[in-house]
């Protein structure tokens, strides 16, 4: 079986480890983790049974895929031995804003380097991960990389030139969605519902609407029109959104996130 080594043991690493174990691609003994000064790596090892590496050499010994899942700011101070010990290995990075060229300088001897942008719904296997690679992936390496990411949800190939846009749309997207839900629940409470009633009404409305959209071949606008009668309540609400330039506000959030991603990548 393939062996996987995780540099970093935070939430995303934990989700990937659990996805690997659920898929049956490997056993817990085939996964090694090494974290920073905190206790996250030891806790992940305790919770899942994966190996807690003693040091860099112990972590990378025999690994087929090295997954860089530390915080982006930690990468700048990463032990240079990582670069030397990844000679001939496949490297998969989930570091936000860290470009392939930067990764290549550090992992100069890697046989290939893959950059991925997952999002937080991956914690429940419902995320989407954008992926690009330094070189074309061999069939074996693609299978290894896909098995590393599949537990997080869907995978889509996107050129690196689009990664700042991906960061805005799917990377930051859950944050924008949660903010909208929070605002909607707050508004529902202001209409007289208890917080628990607002939570139930709002979340099931959104979950059901997304399920309907996913099951339908109709566009979002077509489904919107089906619930919008001339002079009706939905029309009144949509007119209020239009008056406040709702779509322009949404676009401005994505543009701001994309621009910030570009700044962080420099």
Give the CATH number of the domain where residue 222 resides: 1.10.3730.10
In a domain, 166, yes or no: no
- What radius of gyration, in Å, describes the C-alpha atoms of the chain? 22
Q: Please tell me the predicted confidence (pLDDT) of residue 74.
A: 83
In a domain, 156, yes or no: yes
Mean pLDDT of 75-82: 86
Counted domains in the chain: 2
pLDDT averaged over every residue in the chain? 93
Are 202 and 185 spatial neighbours (Cβ–Cβ below 8 Å)? yes
Domain edge (last residue) among 160, 191, 222: 160
Domain edge (last residue) among 94, 128, 160: 160
Q: Please tell me the predicted confidence (pLDDT) of residue 17.
A: 93
Cβ contacts of 156 within 8 Å, gap of 6 or more: 128, 129, 130, 131
Which tokens hold the place of 29? 């003994």
In a domain, 62, yes or no: yes
Q: Are residues 175 and 202 in the same domain?
A: yes
Cβ contacts of 174 within 8 Å, gap of 6 or more: 119, 120, 121
Question: Is pLDDT above 80 for 77?
Answer: yes
Question: Is beta strand 90-93 parallel, antiparallel or unpaired with respect to 65-68?
Answer: parallel
Mean pLDDT of 160-178: 96
Q: Please tell me the predicted confidence (pLDDT) of residue 35.
A: 84
Question: Is pLDDT above 80 for 38?
Answer: no
Local confidence band at 44 (pLDDT 50, 70, 90 cut-offs): very high
Domain range enclosing 91: 4-160
Q: Please tell me the predicted confidence (pLDDT) of residue 1.
A: 76
Q: Are residues 54 and 114 in the same domain?
A: yes
């Amino acid at each position: 079986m393939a062996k996987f080594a995780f540099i970093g043991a935070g939430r995303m690493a934990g989700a990937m480890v659990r996805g690997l174990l659920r898929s049956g691609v490997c056993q817990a003994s085939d996964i090694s983790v090494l974290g920073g000064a905190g206790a996250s790596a030891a806790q992940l090892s305790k919770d899942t049974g994966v190996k807690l590496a003693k040091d860099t050499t112990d972590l990378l010994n025999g690994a087929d895929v090295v997954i860089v899942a530390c915080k982006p700011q930690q990468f700048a101070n990463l032990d240079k031995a990582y670069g030397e010990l990844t000679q001939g290995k496949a490297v998969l990075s989930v570091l936000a804003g860290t470009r392939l060229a930067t990764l290549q300088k550090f992992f100069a001897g890697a046989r290939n380097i893959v950059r991925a942008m997952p999002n937080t719904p991956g914690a429940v296997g419902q995320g989407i991960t954008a992926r690009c690679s330094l070189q074309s992936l061999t069939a074996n390496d693609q299978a290894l990389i896909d098995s590393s990411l599949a537990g997080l949800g869907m995978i889509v190939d996107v050129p690196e030139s689009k990664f700042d846009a991906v960061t805005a749309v799917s990377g930051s997207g859950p944050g924008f969605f949660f903010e909208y839900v929070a605002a909607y629940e707050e508004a529902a409470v202001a209409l007289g519902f208890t917080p628990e009633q607002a939570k139930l009404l709002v979340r099931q409305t959104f979950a059901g609407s997304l399920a309907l959209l996913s099951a339908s071949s109709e566009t979002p606008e077509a489904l919107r029109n089906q619930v919008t009668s001339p002079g009706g309540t939905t029309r009144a609400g949509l007119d209020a959104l239009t008056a406040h330039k709702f779509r322009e506000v949404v676009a401005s959030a994505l543009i701001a996130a994309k621009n910030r991603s570009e700044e962080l990548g420099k």
